[in-house]
Amino acid sequence: MYRKGIMLLLSMLLLAGCWDERLYKNASVVTLVGVDGYIGAYKGYYAYPNTAAQQNEVIEADGISPRDVRNQANLKVEQTLDLSELSTILVSDQTVREPLYDILDIYFRDPQNPISIKIAVTEGDVKPFIELTKDLAGGAGGYYERFMESTEENTIFPKLDLQTVGSMLFEQTIDIALPYIQLSEDKKHAVAAGVALFSGQTFTGTILTPKQSLTMLLLMNQPSKQARMSYMWKHDGKSMPITADVIHIKRQWTVNEELKRIDMDYLIEVEIEEFAHDHLYKDPVFKEVQQLIQDHVQGEFEEVLRILQGQQSDTLGIGRYIRAYHPKMFQKDWPAIYASLQLVPSVQVKIIRTGVLR
């Protein structure tokens, strides 16, 4: 008798319902989020696929905080927005002049949001960037994700995802450089326009061009699958282009504490990819080409370091290095100290391969 009663009770429990059930067919899967505005008056854009028409729909909403924006957007959709398949976040460059973490907190706190997603800063308003994904057959977020991943492979964007960005936002010893995207003229594509420099949690306003951001990544010792540099070589009155691909970097930083000077020695090994003049086996040609590349790279390094120091943006991680190995030099007010350091790069370029031809 008791057994029957207990069985009945238990089975009633089971029938009560599944509290955490989130049926896939009932969710609008948002893959791309755009944030615009400033604290107190945010605008949000959410792109999710419309399976019947093979298109993406964009929902726009206002609110006082990112979460509030989403709640407002939920009033406009037929199936509740679900952000667990998010793959990209786009933020406009006006919004990031405020501390970035305020916008991102919700993505870290909610356990259902993925944090291995990409984040990028857009030139101007976010809206046209999101609208251009409307006609894409695939997922909206997937387009930007793949776009950024391929630019990462070309060593223009640094390899970041939301987790590493968040981690670096909490550290004083390193600053982030987020990918910066522009619209193409026909407003149908996104164009990689370099990186946006941050100092602490706010955007400094300065962008590094793609060439400069490649240099910055080389300074950080993070070359990716392709890192190509092209220069013009003047020889015998003719101009000829040379393209070199960075294969390997060795770097060594020597810190001189009294003089507050860091000697940064770089040994860059390249492979020549394009050189119509050929005949690299001839010693004078080889040496001249190598010297040319070395001079150019040295100049670029110095230029980028000047920009970084000027903006007090320590994207190279010099702060980390100093804090770990020379803790006495590291004080609380790191950005100011960083700006006053003397950074002396010295580059040595070696051509190790020349492709299949010589």
Closest distance between other proteins and the C-beta of residue 51, in Å?
5
Q: Choose among 222, 228, 183: nearest CA to 210.
A: 228
User: What does the block give as tokens for 186?
Assistant: 């026909």
- The count of chain residues that interact with other proteins, using the rule CB under 8 A, is 43
Closest distance between other proteins and the C-beta of residue 30, in Å?
12
Q: Which stretch, 254-262, 268-276, 290-298, 318-326, contacts other proteins (CB under 8 A)?
A: 318-326
Which C-beta is closer to other proteins: that of 111 or that of 237? Answer: 111
Q: Which of residues 6-45 bind other proteins (CB under 8 A)?
A: 13-14, 18-25, 27, 29, 31
* Cα-based distances in Å from 12 to 3, 7, 21, 300, 327: 14, 9, 18, 72, 64
Q: Which helix (H) or strand (E) holds 354?
A: none
Closest distance between other proteins and the C-beta of residue 11, in Å?
11
CA dihedral 121, 86, 148, 355 (to 10 degrees): 160
Closest distance between other proteins and the C-beta of residue 104, in Å?
13
Closest distance between other proteins and the C-beta of residue 43, in Å?
26
Other beta carbons within 10 angstroms of residue 326's beta carbon come to 13
Q: Which of residues 328-357 bind other proteins (CB under 8 A)?
A: none
Which C-beta is closer to other proteins: that of 18 or that of 259? Answer: 18
Q: What does the alpha-carbon distance between residue 68 and residue 120 come to, in Å, rounded to a whole number?
A: 22
For the chain, the 3-state helix, strand and coil shares in percent, each to the nearest 5, are 35, 35, 35
* DSSP code at position 332: S
Contact predicate 116/87, CB 8 Å: no
Please tell me whether residue 49 binds other proteins under the rule CB under 8 A: yes
**Secondary structure (DSSP) of 293-317:** HHHHHHHHHHHHHHHHHHTT--TT-
Alpha helices in 185-282 (DSSP H): 210-219
Closest distance between other proteins and the C-beta of residue 181, in Å?
20
Alpha helices in the chain (DSSP H): 2-15, 66-74, 101-109, 127-131, 140-153, 162-170, 210-219, 283-310, 318-325, 334-340
Which C-beta is closer to other proteins: that of 274 or that of 325? Answer: 325
Closest distance between other proteins and the C-beta of residue 323, in Å?
7
Which C-beta is closer to other proteins: that of 138 or that of 299? Answer: 138
Closest distance between other proteins and the C-beta of residue 28, in Å?
10
Contact pattern for other proteins over residues 84 through 103, marking x by CB under 8 A? xx-x----------------
Contact predicate 112/83, CB 8 Å: yes
Beta bridge partners of 182: 191
Which C-beta is closer to other proteins: that of 82 or that of 302? Answer: 82
Which C-beta is closer to other proteins: that of 145 or that of 300? Answer: 145
User: What does the block give as tokens for 23?
Assistant: 């049926």
**Secondary structure (DSSP) of 56-94:** EEEEEEEESSHHHHHHHHHTT-SS-EE-TT--EEEEETT
Contacting residue, 71, 135, 274, 325, with other proteins by CB under 8 A: 325
Q: Which of residues 166-195 bind other proteins (CB under 8 A)?
A: 166-168, 170-171
Closest distance between other proteins and the C-beta of residue 54, in Å?
9
Please tell me whether residue 67 binds other proteins under the rule CB under 8 A: no
Q: Which of residues 106-165 bind other proteins (CB under 8 A)?
A: 111-112, 114-116, 138-139, 141-142, 145, 161, 163-164
Please tell me whether residue 210 binds other proteins under the rule CB under 8 A: no
Q: Which positions lie near other proteins, rule CB under 8 A?
A: 13-14, 18-25, 27, 29, 31, 49, 51, 84-85, 87, 111-112, 114-116, 138-139, 141-142, 145, 161, 163-164, 166-168, 170-171, 317, 320-321, 323-325, 327
